[in-house]
Amino acid sequence: MPQSLGKKIRLSRLLDPKSGRGFCIAFDHALQLGPCPGLETPEATLDQMAEAGVDAVILPLGSARHYGPRLAANRGPGLILRLDQTTMWREGTPLAYPDGHTRLVASVDDAVAAGAEAVITYCFFAPNDPALETAAIRDNAAVNAEARAAGMIHIVETMGARSAKAVDIHDGEFVRFHVRIGIELGADVIKTDWPGSVAALRRIVGESPVPVMLAGGPGSGSDRGTLELVHGIIGAGAAGILFGRSIFQAREPLAVMKACRAIIHAGASVDEAIDGAGFARRPEAA
């Protein structure tokens, strides 16, 4: 089915029309985790994103309302509105549930009113309670219908449930499985987990009719490790990244952002990206 004009325009702002690549940052963690290291001064971090040339940022509705004017004033990143809240990332804390629970907390109409380029929703697979997967698919199908009607880009974030006992959530075949379901739900873009190897990611990307972007997770443990991962992702043919903590919790977030952009949009090697990013201290592998 051909994309609507609205979708084409919005997608061109997320992904470079020539390369098909995009550098986006997830900055929605407070909705899922409450206070989080690296989120103490959001205005300063958003200003760094604008300076580094980040293409888009994921924000919840509250942050979009508070900081959207700042993005506009600074010609900052485009807005990807997070439509759902989940308890999935509380695993291992006193506030965790046996299975993560996810629910919609904003709408496509909210995204249109906020001037967003896209909406994003989780779609978790293989929870211990199969009813949760059913609910995730139902919610994603409903959001996708609203996004099609509005000409809004819908990013489906397909992932294994962190409580899943039956699967390795980073197994390449499992990631391939849920990415395909996300595509069939109508995703314009897929965000997903690292599937364990460059070869596995290359296969997933090669089979996908829509752009595939990668999540960063809790981080690699070093700034250089993050950049090496980004380089591997781009080398596998993925459309880019939607990293969060591994960037805004970095020792030098601005330099990491500049280096990521060089790898994604200029085809730089890791060392070339580091050399041009202005690190005060050259990052080494952990």
Chain segment 46-78, per-residue pLDDT in tens: 999 999 999 999 999 999 999 999 999 888 999
Chain segment 9-36, per-residue pLDDT in tens: 999 999 999 999 999 999 999 999 999 8
Rounded to the nearest 5°, which phi and psi values hold at 17? -60, -25
142 has pLDDT over 70: yes
Mean pLDDT of 167-174: 94
Chain segment 79-114, per-residue pLDDT in tens: 999 999 999 988 878 888 878 899 999 999 999 999
Rounded to the nearest 5°, which phi and psi values hold at 34? 75, -150
Mean pLDDT of 236-261: 97
pLDDT number for residue 99: 83
Mean pLDDT of 207-234: 92
Mean pLDDT of 254-264: 98
Distance CA 205, CA 201 (A): 6
Q: Which residues contact 173 (CB under 8 A, 6 or more apart)?
A: 200
What pLDDT band is residue 245 in, cutting at 50, 70 and 90? very high
CA 236 to chain centre: 17
Mean pLDDT of 134-142: 98
Mean pLDDT, all residues of the chain? 94
> 5-276 domain in CATH 3.20.20.70?
yes
3-state secondary structure 63-116: HHHHHHHHHHHCCCCEEEEECEEECHHHCCCCCCCCCCCEEECCCHHHHHHHCC
The token pair at 275 is 């050399």
pLDDT number for residue 137: 98
